[in-house]
Amino acid sequence: MVDLPDQRLNSLMKWLDVGGGKLSNNKRKLFAELTDDEITRVEEAYADGFAGS
């Protein structure tokens, strides 16, 4: 899906958790290496596997 170092992936997961599964526009700027499509796919995967846990 996306290739990020562990620390970056952990940060992304934290912001998704804080945002209820969505990455805010401000936080998207922190992950400029990801395209909008990649972020959307990550949000969908998060909703399928991690939301509510």
**What is the DSSP secondary-structure string of the chain?**
-----HHHHHHHHHHHHHTTT---HHHHGGGTTS-HHHHHHHHHHHHHHTTT-
The pTM is what? 0.84
The pLDDT confidence band at residue 52, using thresholds 50, 70 and 90, is low
Tens digit of each residue's pLDDT (9 = 90 or more) over 17-44: 999 999 999 999 999 999 999 999 999 9
Q: Report pLDDT for 51.
A: 60
